[in-house]
Structure 1
Amino acid sequence: MLHGFPPIESPSSTALILGTGPSVRSALKQQYYGHERNAFWPIMRDLLGGEIEHYEQKWELLLSHDIALWDVLSAFERKGSADSAYTTVIPNDFTQFFQGHPAIQRVLFNGKKAQAFYMRLVGYLPESCEFLCMPSTSPAYTLSFEEKRELWAKGLGLQQVSFKKHSPDKNR
């Protein structure tokens, strides 16, 4: 049985981003979205304006904008990293999480599989929260980086973002 990571969170978090469970590469690195081609951290850098060279900077970028990050799954069995490869799944305790984070107003699923697992396994939908399914930041999801970034900006309520130009880097 594989296990997910603890949440990146603070009591003042107003948004929660949920993935499914760590990929093989992320588990090896012990980092959320650790695959070099996953667009999650470059999108967050562009939208929130911060450095993402070190994992601690990635955490701080989210926390400084009151964004929490977690996975729907606490433990799971899966062959490889594909969303279709899950065989056994155990969800995290979201009732307790939401009770400890009453300021959360928006939950964004990083892809349809995260949303499907949440709805099937958890189904807890506090009335104070808006739930949105975002395009997966995985390199397997073929929407362009720019399209993903634009949709994530809208999902996070950042429609008026002016994107900084970044040269291509190994984090993308």
Structure 2
Amino acid sequence: MAREGLRTLVVAKKSLTEEQYQDFESRYTQAKLSMHDRTLKVAAVIESLEREMELLCLTGVEDQLQADVRPTLEMLRNAGIKVWMLTGDKLETATCVAQSSRLVPRTQDTHIFRRVCLKYYEHEFMELACQCPAVVCCRCSPTQKACIVTLLQQHTGRRTCAIGECRPAHGRPPEKPAA
């Protein structure tokens, strides 16, 4: 279902003894209090619990696109216009929408850059992203979307067209995006 561009949700269960639960809770609490690599440690503890589970159900939801999105994107690409999708969605949702709109072909390799990318490697990120056939930036606020558009204009010297909520808050400079 995910290969077809559907957002998937897997529901499963696992019975734990009191001892297993206490062990998990202790490791989880310790990971949440960690000063270094907190996110990775929490994810590792959760992943350790997500084994040998009983599958209860599986769902697949298709994100409905507005009419004519696919042909419009195709016409833009055929005209040599690069399309970037800046969204507040999570990575998984953004990927599904990009594939279902055919902004990104299902067979195309994707590269994922984490938050530190624009914070420390702004120029390198823009160099690489501008060479890509399509770019999807997820978990962006409207202000961060505006910042990416501004960076793109500054880096390329070209015109951009931003559709949607891509305006910085009045009187404040744009914050760095979380691409």
Q: Same fold (TM over 0.5)?
A: no
Say which structure is richer in strand.
1
Select the structure with the greater relative contact order (CA < 8 A; seq sep ≥ 6): 1
Q: TM-score range by the shorter chain?
A: under 0.3
State TM-score, norm by structure 2.
Answer: 0.26
Structure showing greater radius of gyration is 2
Query: Which has the larger helix fraction?
Result: 2
TM-score normalised by L of structure 1: 0.26
